[in-house]
């Protein structure tokens, strides 16, 4: 649509509003299309979430609104929702035949600006344009306010009174999440989107490349996460054509990411403690501080990142699903995860408190907690895990070896886990942070790798930005896998080719490769830490583009928990697959970014998995939630078509939302 056309339409708005409708059910899609046309909207339809994402990525200004079904085979609607919110900052309306409070809540917390029940009525659709307007206005206001408030305060502002202002936007979002009640139409629900200019403003979007994000993180660390204001960050970064607003919005997202991390870190704290040993420094790093240091050092030290991944261990600690109920945003207190009662509200409350950076108190914990916690929390919450969540958690986290407790032993695999440091040739279109993922893990940074591995497991974690995702993606690639991925996937994953990446290369292949790398990564962590060797093997084997997990993995009794379907291998495959498939696999992100991403990934996995993981099916996301299960889910949708193994998970695994959790 040309600018003139758009302007013309804008005058008649809502007539001509450009809507993208996504629903795998052809009947519903047809009906939806007819209804939308009757409202005089400009409708584009697709039955595949992946296609929708590609369409959106192609041109962010092409659509004003997205309506998506919740249950789709190739990707969970919530995941799509998150990705769209993160990457494109568009309002997304969820559609579902399922009107259960829990599901609706999930939609809201994932950032949906509305949740409609099927069959949709014409009257309901006539009003959806308000979400577009609201978002625009809200964002504009956030930007303006951000300017004023930034210097004065940090994201620490808790539920400020006024509803405006950047900080308010942020808090508001948290608050909403927390309350779980508010009208979900408010843009603030979508935490991540505040920064992007609405299409109507037509400002050039900044692509947060890995490099750019790295600079950002370095700057933030230098200033101190509490003191980092956009202006100063901007100065430190010294990048041309980057506006304070760009930085501000990115900072908001980053803070959210960190918050998640800290929530996870809390859980991880225990893990970290368990790890101890060689990871002492790493434990230190685990905390936010550690992360910060990490960044400060330009990512030279890999340990810090590991620390952040400690969450795995923490997750293992989670003894009950309820604490996890939160969207993975557990309070930063380390013990919190376990103790948090099962209530979303709790988590939300905590979220609100955490807001932004989790540095206070237990930075270490936060980080760790945030990571796995986020993943698991959601999962648990939703899936009402039958089994002890601990089991699940460790599974996912095991990769890092931390979960296992024995810590030290576990990291060996790390070395094999190039995942984390995959060279990220591709820049995430959505933000270029993808490069993060491509960082190279040196064997010595086994810790790091482990952490990364874990992260890879949660592709969703990096909701923050494409770059972050990239980090995650990269983390997934095991050493062996990386090369494969690097060569093949990178090519495909080139920024302009993300779509092509996923779609061009045979889905099968793509998923395969992706699977493998993630598997490797995932496998490694998952496997018994004491079986580092196995892990390594696993990693290697994975790289061989074999989906199957190393024997060790399967045999590992500890991993049994993962074997929901009796095929842990598959699970991991899926997980990674989805990540990779999302097409935004960023390999080889710089170490720094990787670390950041991973943390964020882990913590955010539940929530906003942007870009890269977008492709993943919801299963991935859900999978992360339940540690083991969720991954399955995530991967499931993606890999399903590709692998026979996957087929298993298909509908069986069921719940796109509560994949593993339920299974377990």
Partner 1 sequence: MFIYTTPVYRLSLALQGFLDEQFYQLEELQDESSPNFVEEVVTLFFRDSSRLMANIDQALEQCPPDFHRLDKFLHRLKGSASSIGAGKMKNECAGFREFCSEENLEGCLRSFQKVKKEHTILRQKLENYFQLLRQVVPVDKATRSGS
Residues at the contact surface with partner 1, assessed by CB under 8 A: 25-28, 30-31, 34-35, 37-38, 71, 97-98, 118-119, 121-122, 651-655, 662
Of 97 and 496, the one with the shorter C-beta distance to partner 1 is 97
Q: What is the 3-state secondary structure (H, E, C) of 176-232?
A: HHHHCCCCCCCHHHCHHHHHCCCHHHCCCCCCCCHHHHHHHHHHHHHHCCCCCCHHH
DSSP 264-295: HHHHHHHHHHHH-GGGHHHHHHHSHHHHHHHH
Phi and psi at 219, nearest 5°, equal: -65, -45
- Which region, left, alpha or beta, applies to residue 555 given φ > 0 means left and ψ of -120 to 50 means alpha? alpha
Of 34 and 181, the one with the shorter C-beta distance to partner 1 is 34
Q: What is the 3-state secondary structure (H, E, C) of 376-444?
A: HHHHHHHHCCCCCHHHHHHHHHHCCCCCCCCHHHHCHHHHHCHHHECCCCCCCCCCCHHHHHECCCCHH
* Distance of closest approach, residue 196 Cβ to partner 1, in angstroms: 32
Of 38 and 137, the one with the shorter C-beta distance to partner 1 is 38
CA distance 36 to 22: 12
CA distance 469 to 472: 5
CA distance 262 to 450: 18
Of 116 and 522, the one with the shorter C-beta distance to partner 1 is 116
Of 122 and 551, the one with the shorter C-beta distance to partner 1 is 122
H/E stretch holding 21: strand 18-22
* Distance of closest approach, residue 235 Cβ to partner 1, in angstroms: 53
* Distance of closest approach, residue 627 Cβ to partner 1, in angstroms: 19
Beta bridge partners of 43: 19
* Distance of closest approach, residue 645 Cβ to partner 1, in angstroms: 17
Beta bridge partners of 93: 67, 114
* Distance of closest approach, residue 20 Cβ to partner 1, in angstroms: 20
- CB burial class (10 A; 0-12, 13-18, 19+) of residue 342? middle
Of 7 and 121, the one with the shorter C-beta distance to partner 1 is 121
* Distance of closest approach, residue 514 Cβ to partner 1, in angstroms: 25
Give me 278's structure tokens. 């060689």
H/E stretch holding 505: none
Of 564 and 597, the one with the shorter C-beta distance to partner 1 is 564
* Distance of closest approach, residue 106 Cβ to partner 1, in angstroms: 16
Of 26 and 566, the one with the shorter C-beta distance to partner 1 is 26
Task: Report the first-to-last Cα separation within the chain, whole angstroms.
Answer: 48
Q: Could you give the C-alpha distances from 318 to 14, 243, 325, 352, in angstroms and in order? A: 48, 42, 11, 21
* Distance of closest approach, residue 647 Cβ to partner 1, in angstroms: 12
Q: Could you give the C-alpha distances from 46 to 16, 64, 66, 120, in angstroms and in order? A: 18, 16, 11, 17
Of 275 and 653, the one with the shorter C-beta distance to partner 1 is 653
* Distance of closest approach, residue 636 Cβ to partner 1, in angstroms: 12
Of 6 and 71, the one with the shorter C-beta distance to partner 1 is 71
* Distance of closest approach, residue 147 Cβ to partner 1, in angstroms: 46
């Amino acid at each position: 649509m040309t600018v003139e056309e758009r302007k013309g339409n804008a005058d008649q708005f809502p007539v001509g509003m450009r809507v993208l409708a996504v629903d795998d059910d052809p009947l519903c899609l047809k009906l939806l299309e007819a209804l939308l046309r009757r409202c005089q909207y400009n409708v584009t339809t697709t039955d595949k979430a992946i296609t929708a994402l590609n369409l959106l990525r192609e041109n962010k200004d092409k659509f004003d609104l997205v309506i998506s079904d919740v249950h789709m085979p190739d990707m969970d609607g919530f995941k799509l929702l998150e990705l769209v919110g993160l990457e494109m900052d568009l309002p997304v309306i969820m559609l579902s035949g399922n009107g259960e409070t829990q599901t609706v809540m999930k939609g809201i917390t994932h950032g949906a600006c509305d949740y409609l029940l099927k069959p949709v009525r014409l009257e309901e659709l006539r009003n959806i344009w308000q979400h577009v307007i609201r978002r625009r206005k809200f964002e504009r206001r956030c930007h303006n306010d951000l300017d004023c408030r930034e210097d004065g305060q940090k994201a620490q502002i808790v539920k400020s009174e006024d509803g405006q202002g950047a900080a308010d936007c942020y808090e508001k979002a948290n608050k909403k999440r927390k309350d779980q009640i508010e009208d979900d139409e408010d843009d603030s629900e979508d935490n991540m989107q505040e920064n992007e200019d609405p299409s109507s403003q037509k400002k050039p979007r900044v692509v947060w490349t890995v490099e750019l994000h790295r600079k950002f993180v370095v700057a933030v660390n230098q200033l101190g996460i509490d003191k980092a204001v956009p202006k100063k960050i901007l100065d430190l970064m010294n990048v041309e054509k980057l506006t304070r607003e760009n930085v501000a919005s990115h900072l908001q997202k980053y803070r959210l990411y960190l918050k998640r991390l800290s929530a996870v870190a809390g859980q991880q704290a225990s893990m970290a403690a368990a790890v101890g040993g060689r990871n002492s420094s790493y434990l230190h790093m685990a905390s936010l501080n550690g992360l910060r240091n990490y960044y400060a050092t330009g990512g030279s030290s890999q340990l810090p990142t590991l620390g952040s991944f400690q969450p795995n261990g923490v997750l293992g600690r989670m003894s009950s699903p309820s604490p996890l109920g939160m969207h993975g945003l557990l309070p930063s207190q380390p013990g919190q995860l376990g103790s948090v009662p099962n209530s979303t509200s709790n988590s939300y409350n905590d979220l609100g408190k955490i807001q932004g950076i989790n540095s206070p108190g237990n930075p270490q914990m936060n980080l760790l907690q945030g990571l796995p916690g986020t993943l698991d929390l959601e999962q648990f919450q939703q899936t009402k895990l039958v089994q002890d969540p601990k089991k699940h958690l460790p599974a996912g986290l095991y990769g890092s070896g931390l979960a296992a407790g024995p810590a030290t032993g576990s990291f060996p695999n790390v070395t094999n886990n190039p995942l984390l440091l995959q060279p990220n040739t591709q820049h995430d279109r959505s933000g270029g942070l993808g490069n993060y993922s491509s960082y190279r893990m040196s064997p010595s940074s086994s810790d790091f790798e482990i952490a990364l591995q874990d992260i890879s497991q949660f592709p969703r974690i990096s909701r923050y930005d494409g770059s972050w995702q990239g980090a995650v993606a990269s983390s997934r690639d095991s050493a062996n896998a990386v090369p494969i991925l690097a060569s093949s996937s990178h090519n495909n994953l080139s920024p302009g080719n993300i779509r092509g990446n996923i779609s061009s290369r045979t889905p099968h292949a793509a998923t395969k490769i992706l699977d493998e790398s993630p598997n490797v990564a995932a496998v490694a962590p998952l496997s018994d830490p004491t079986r580092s060797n196995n892990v390594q093997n696993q990693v290697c084997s994975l790289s061989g583009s074999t989906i199957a997990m190393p024997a060790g993995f399967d045999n590992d009794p500890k991993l049994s928990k993962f074997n929901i379907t009796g095929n842990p291998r598959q699970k991991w495959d899926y997980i990674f697959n989805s990540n990779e498939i999302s097409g935004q696999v960023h390999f080889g992100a710089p170490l720094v970014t990787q670390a950041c991403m991973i943390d964020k990934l882990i913590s955010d996995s539940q929530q906003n998995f942007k870009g890269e993981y977008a492709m993943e099916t919801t299963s991935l996301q859900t999978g992360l939630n339940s540690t083991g299960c969720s991954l399955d889910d995530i991967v499931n949708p993606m890999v399903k078509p590709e692998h026979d193994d996957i087929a298993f998970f298909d509908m069986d695994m069921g719940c796109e939302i509560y994949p593993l959790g339920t299974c377990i």
